[in-house]
Amino acid sequence: MNSTITKIAAGSLAEELELTAGDKILQVNGRAPLDIIDLSFQLAEEEIELLIEHADGQREIIAFEKDVDEELGAEFESAVFDGVRRCKNHCVFCFVDMIAPNMRRTLSIKDDDYRLSFLFGNFITLTNLTAKDFRRIKKFHLSPLFVSIHSMNPDLRAKILRTPQAAQINRQLDELERAGVEYHTQVVLCKDLNDGAELDFTITEILKRRPHAQSLAIVPVGVTRYRRDKFPLNQFDKDSAATVIAQVERFQQQIRAESGRTFVYLGDEFYFLAERDFPPVEYYDDFPQIENGIGMTRNFIEEWQGTRDKGQGTKLTDVICGTSIAKVFKRLTSDLPNVRIIPVVNKFFGERVNVSGLLTGGDIIDALKAAGGFRDKILIPATALKAGEEIFLDDVTLDDLKKLFAPAQIVPIHDGAEFRRNLEGFT
C-alpha cells in the first residue's frame, strides 16, 4: 500500500497532528484505505484513530476528534494506494505503444482505473471492471466517469481493443446507469475502420443513452514514428476530415434543435486538417471535454478576445507552438510586429504529431536555435510540461531552456488570456 504523504497544508489538521511528508497512513479506524476516495469517507467520522508509519519505519497510533466536514489537509504520492489498475487491452491505436523506447517509466503505464476516471477525468474502457467494482462505484456514487467507446458495434469494438470483454459494452453501460452514474464518452476515430456508417451507428446508440450519457467526443487517431503494430491504421487528410465534419454537423444541428445542446463534439484536429473555421463558442456548450482537446482552440481564441487590449508591447517575443495551431496564432498576432510565431516540427514523435502538448524540449531547442536572433521573452505551451512539474516528455527541463536562452524570459502559457497579457506587455 502506497499511502505516502508528500505535502502538508499550512494550518491544516494534518499539521496540527504533526504529520510530515514521508509519513504513511496505514489504517483509519482499523481499516486500510484503498485510495483517497476511501480515505475521504473514512475520515468523515468524528472520532478517528490513525495508524501511521513514519519515514524511519516507526509506527504510531494517533487518536483524535474532528468536525465532520474537517479535511485532513495532506497530499499523497498517489491517488490510489493499492496500485493503479492497468489496462488489459491491446488497442490497435494505443499511444503508449507508440512512445519512444527508454522514456521514463511513468509514460509507459497503461492505466484503466475507474478511480482515476472519477478523480481526474482519465478515460477508461470498462473491460476490467468486476461486480465488486460496480458495487463500489454505486456505493460512493463515483459520477461522472469518462468512458472510451470507440464503437458501439460489439464485434468491431472487440477487434479495436483486441479483447473479447470489449464486446460487453452495452451490458457495462447498463451497469453504470443502474448505479445512477453519468458518463462522458469518446471515440478515437480511424479512417476506414470505425468511421462512416459505423460512426453513425455509434453516435445514434450513445444518443439513446441520454441523460446518463453526457457528451460524446470524437478525436482522430494519432500515429507516431515509433509505432510497430502491424494492424493497418489510416489517418485522416483534408478531404476525409471535411467528410467527418459534415457527417457530425448533421447530428449536431439535429440535437441542438431538439435540446439546445450540441452533445457530440469533434476534436480540434479535424478542423485543422480540413482547414475549416472552428464552430462558435456556443456549440461547445460548457466545454465538457476541453481536457480531451475538444474546443481548446475556440476557448483559447475567446479568452484572447476577452482580454482587455492595452496596446502593443515593446518586447521581442517568440511563441513556441505545434504546427497545427500556428496559423491561428499568426492570425491572432498579426497586428503585433514584435511577436514571432515559431511552429515546431515534432521530430521526436514524427512530423504528423502536430499538437503543442506533445512537443519535446529537444525539438523546441532546435527550433529556437534555427530561428536565431535576439528575443526578450519566449512563450511555451504549458501543456508540453509534465503536470505539476517543469520537465518535458524527453526529460529536458525548463531550467535547461532558461540556461540555453538566457537572458530571455521563458514563460509557460496556460490559456488565451495569459497568452495575450504576455504578448502585450501587461499583467
**313 and 227 in a common domain:** no
With cell 480540434, the residue in question is 268
Domain of residue 61, CATH code: 2.30.42.10
Which residue shows C-alpha cell 476516495? 37
Mean per-residue pLDDT of the chain: 91
Do 348 and 396 form a contact (C-beta atoms < 8 A)? no
SS (H, E, C) 85-115: CECCCCCCCCCHHHCCCCCCHHHHCCECCHH
Q: Which percentage of the chain shows pLDDT scores above 70? A: 96
Confidence of residue 97 (pLDDT cuts 50, 70, 90): confident
Domain boundary among 247, 272, 294: 294
Please name which of 92, 321, 324 lies closest in space to residue 223, comparing C-alpha atoms. 92
Does the pLDDT value for residue 44 go beyond 60? yes
Residue 84 lies in a domain: no
**Which of 239, 274, 294 finishes a domain?**
294
Q: How many other C-beta atoms can be found within 10 angstroms of the C-beta atom of residue 352?
A: 12
What is the extent of the structural domain holding 351?
A: 302-424
Residue 313: pLDDT band (50, 70, 90) is low
Question: In angstroms, rounded to a whole number, what is the distance separating the alpha carbons of residues 160 and 232?
Answer: 11
* Alpha-carbon span 427 to 425, nearest angstrom: 7
Give me the CATH number covering residue 149: 3.80.30.10
pLDDT at 421 over 80: yes
Residue 309 has pLDDT above 70, yes or no: no
Per-residue pLDDT band at 108 (split at 50, 70, 90)? low
Q: How confident is the model at residue 426 (pLDDT cuts 50, 70, 90)?
A: very low
In angstroms, rounded to a whole number, what is the distance separating the alpha carbons of residues 251 and 294? Answer: 17
Alpha-carbon gap, residue 114 to 134, rounded angstroms: 10
Assess whether 26 and 151 both reside in one domain: no
Q: Mean of the pLDDT values across residues 355-361?
A: 90
Q: Name every residue whose Cβ is closer than 8 Å to that of residue 294 and which is 6 or more positions away in sequence.
A: 217, 219, 265, 266, 267, 268, 284, 287, 288
Residue 77 to residue 263: CA distance in whole angstroms = 36
Give percent of the chain above pLDDT 90: 73
What average pLDDT does the segment 285-296 reach? 91
Q: What is the mean pLDDT of residues 144-171?
A: 97
| Residues 50, 195 share a domain | no
- Residue 380: pLDDT band with limits 50, 70, 90: very high
- Asked if residue 192 and residue 70 are part of one domain, the reply reads no
Q: Are strands 183-189 and 145-148 parallel, antiparallel or unpaired?
A: parallel
Give the number of C-alpha atoms closer than 13 A to the C-alpha of residue 210, restricted to the C-beta side: 14
CA dist., res. 65 & res. 47, Å (int): 5
The model's confidence at residue 9, banded by pLDDT at 50, 70 and 90, is very high
CA–CA gap between residue 394 and residue 100 (Å, rounded)? 9
Average pLDDT over residues 153-182: 96
pLDDT at 73 over 70: yes
Residue 107: what pLDDT? 64
Mean pLDDT of 108-121: 89
Q: How many domains does the chain have?
A: 3
- Whether 129 and 254 map to the same domain: the answer is yes
- How far, CA to CA in Å, does 360 sit from each of 103, 266, 329, 375? 12, 26, 19, 21
Please check whether residue 418 lies inside any domain of the structure: yes
- The CA–CA distances, whole Å, from 88 to 32, 43, 134, 137, 176 equal 26, 33, 18, 20, 20
Q: What's at 129, amino acid-wise? A: L
The confidence band for 106, taking pLDDT boundaries of 50, 70 and 90, is low
